[in-house]
Amino acid sequence: MELSINQKVLVFLLLSIGLITLPHINHIPLAVFVAFNSLLVWRFICIWKVNLLPNKWLLFILMIGAISLLYQQHHTFLGRDAGTSLFVIALGLKLLEINQTRDIYLVNYLAFIVATSQFLYQQSILMAVYILFVTCVLLATLVLINSQKPATIAALKTAVIIVFQALPLSIVLFVLFPRVEAPRWMLFNQQNSARTGLSDSLEPGAISQLGLSDELVFRAKFNAELPSQNKLYWRGPVYSYTDGKRWTEGKVSKKNAVVSKVDYKGYKYQYTLMMEPQDKEWVFALDMPSSFPKALKQNSQYQIITTEKNNQRAEYKFTSYTQYNTGELSDKAYKENVQLPVEPSAKLKKLVTTLNGFDQSAESFIQNVLMHFKTENFHYTLRPPLMGDKPIETFLFESRYGFCSHYATAFVYLMRISGIPARVIGGYQGGEINQVGGFLEIRQANAHAWAEVWLKNKGWTRFDPTAAIAPERIEQDVNIDLQIATGIINFSPMFSNSGKALSWMKQARQMWSNIDYSWQRWVINYSTENQTKFLSSLGIHNIKSIVYWLMGSIGGISLVLAWIILKNKTTKLAEEVRLYQMFCKKMAKVGLDKEVAETAQNYCHRIQLQRPDLSEQVAKITMIYTRLHYEKEPLDKDIKLLKTELAGFKVNINPE
């Protein structure tokens, strides 16, 4: 019963379970986590205070309380979060029932399930390494249970060997075994916590709040040449309706899903986009995307929308052109993009008149507005002042300090006053090149707003008013680290010989980012489609071929592992068995033959009963032999010790 379980094994098991459940502090309700740890501490105390273990009635009351707690926190027992909490609290209750070896096995297997449930929340490489570590710890617990003389370090070493022996088979199964996608109705419907980022509405100054965030939004790896920095506009939401202060998507655009035909020109850029989890359905493609996967769709604003779950990483292949002509504009779209909330003030009309917005061509007026921003003491700042209820007029005539959203909204507003269709585009501009992996990393600090103006024979044309006042924002990348440290806008050249100039910390960060990127691409995103493509490249096109490859790979790996294990074991066994057989022959000379099915321990006990004079020597020889024969990590000196004991072992026919 309880006394038969080694205390060292119990301590190791409970510490292991504490490590396994630790990451769930971010996943399950705090009350459930506290309840579990209370049960864990209780069981720790009971290792030395056995009388404090609960009886069956108290366990029943605890179970009812746990069920009530789970329902109070989740209002259900189904789903990812409720199911994880259920397994965690069940593990805690089962700890209080440990009173024999069988219970330790059950707790161990339940702990494996709890450890695996971590992947329902996070699939990063760090979490995979952590789970691999706790798996080794759990296996070490099983090794300790089956060791005659528990040794923690030896058990951990054995567990690590077992895991690494299993890794080749796991990799083969991962790569070759047909992947089965779960039906959509079976997928967990939990959402990740809210994430910062662009909003579906825009107010002057809103984007500046993202300028101090280094949160990764997506990565882009181009098949060939990278676009220049001033072409890296990643298209997001389109704001075409305004109430004078806030800008939102237009009502007509939301209903209209018809995309007018685009005439693409210039260089064709092909690239792979890896989106981080987000709380919006937006996918930020390089402006303007011409082809994309079937899982995505393009709305009438040329924005890419995903139809899949957006709260997990996703990879998409795109083709984009940075030169294009969107064609004619419908009457509804025209009305939507010249919409103004109220009659423009006299000051605004006077400014438009001064800039020849009513009597010159649209192109001339655009250049006049951009020149106005450049020459009339406007400033680009990460921390603009508050603009009040009339942000456009306040910015243009009073403060003249603003971030990209101030310039974009003011520019579009002036265009509309002159009757030119215009709208604000939200998204990201630029990106930091990862020198190690050769891909771009776009972070929240790259968030940007620019304008689109519809021009005859050209269609929707991009104009970035920020470039007029701060051209380095478009020509260079944002220096995010320095910007966060100082709170002041900072830039650094995107394409430069920066390998030597990079600090060791930044090099390490880029190297780790490259590892994470490869992990996400080749492991996490190894879907049915990707598996089919990869296997096809190996000439595997059907189930029959997959079965042959599986059988061949598993058989080959098994033979290699068997040879390694048996080769080492055979050498060791031959020596120890030979020495033990010498001992058995000496005992046979005095009439104490070892029976065929008799264990070494039973044989030792029988000799001790019949020859008490040999009891101490026989017990020592048996102990050394047992350690050599059954334990994975015997002492190096055991063979020599066994030889010494046998050399000095003398058996008299007639005991004294």
pLDDT in tens, 165-209: 888 888 888 888 887 665 543 445 444 444 557 888 888 777 777
Do 370 and 466 meet the contact criterion of CB atoms below 8 Å apart? no
- pLDDT tens per residue across span 338-375: 999 999 999 999 999 999 999 899 999 999 999 999 99
Asked whether the predicted pLDDT for residue 131 surpasses 90, the reply is no
Q: Spell out the domain ranges in the chain.
A: 2-185, 201-507, 547-647
Please compute the mean of the pLDDT values over residues 485-512 and round it to a whole number: 59
Of the candidates 270, 280, 271, which has an alpha carbon nearest to the alpha carbon of residue 217? 280
Question: Which range has the worst mean pLDDT, 168-172, 500-504, 524-528?
Answer: 500-504
CB neighbour class for 454 (10 Å; exposed up to 12, middle 13-18, buried from 19): buried
pTM: 0.65
Residue 318, CA distances (Å) to 291, 516, 517 in order: 6, 21, 18
**How many whole angstroms from its chain centre is CA 292?**
24
Per-residue confidence (pLDDT) for residue 500, from 0 to 100:
46
Of the candidates 96, 94, 123, which has an alpha carbon nearest to the alpha carbon of residue 106? 94
Written in H, E and C, the secondary structure of 135-196 is: HHHHHHHHHHHCCCCCCHHHHHHHHHHHHHHHHHHHHHHHHHCCCCCCCHHHCCCCCCCCCC
Q: How far apart are CA 431 and CA 429, in angstroms?
A: 7
Please compute the mean of the pLDDT values over residues 633-650 and round it to a whole number: 79
According to DSSP, the β-strands at 216-222 and 439-443 are: antiparallel
Q: Which residue has the higher pLDDT, 531 or 261?
A: 261
What confidence tier does 395 reach under pLDDT thresholds 50, 70, 90? Answer: very high
Per-residue confidence (pLDDT) for residue 656, from 0 to 100:
58
Q: How far apart are CA 349 and CA 347, in angstroms?
A: 6
Q: Which residue has the higher pLDDT, 608 or 101?
A: 608
- pLDDT tens per residue across span 21-61: 888 888 888 888 898 889 888 888 888 887 888 888 888 88
**How many whole angstroms from its chain centre is CA 269?**
28
Please compute the mean of the pLDDT values over residues 150-175 and round it to a whole number: 83
Per-residue confidence (pLDDT) for residue 186, from 0 to 100:
42
Do 35 and 6 meet the contact criterion of CB atoms below 8 Å apart? no
Q: How far apart are CA 203 and CA 247, in angstroms?
A: 6
Q: In what order do the strands lie in the sheet with 247-248?
A: 201-202, 247-248, 241-242
Of the candidates 341, 333, 338, which has an alpha carbon nearest to the alpha carbon of residue 357? 338
Output the CA angle 314-316-319, nearest 5 degrees. 160
Q: How far apart are CA 466 and CA 544, in angstroms?
A: 60
Burial 321-339 (b: 16+ CB within 10 A, else e): bbebbbeebeeebeebbbb
- pLDDT tens per residue across span 272-284: 998 888 888 899 9
Q: How far apart are CA 198 and CA 444, in angstroms?
A: 8
Asked whether the predicted pLDDT for residue 461 surpasses 90, the reply is yes
Q: How far apart are CA 450 and CA 470, in angstroms?
A: 13
Residue 370, CA distances (Å) to 170, 227, 357, 366, 379 in order: 60, 24, 12, 6, 13
The segment with the largest mean pLDDT, out of 289-298, 563-572, 639-648, is: 289-298
For residue 232, give the 3-state DSSP assignment. coil
Q: Which residue has the higher pLDDT, 203 or 418?
A: 418
According to DSSP, the β-strands at 422-429 and 247-248 are: unpaired
Please compute the mean of the pLDDT values over residues 590-604 and round it to a whole number: 86
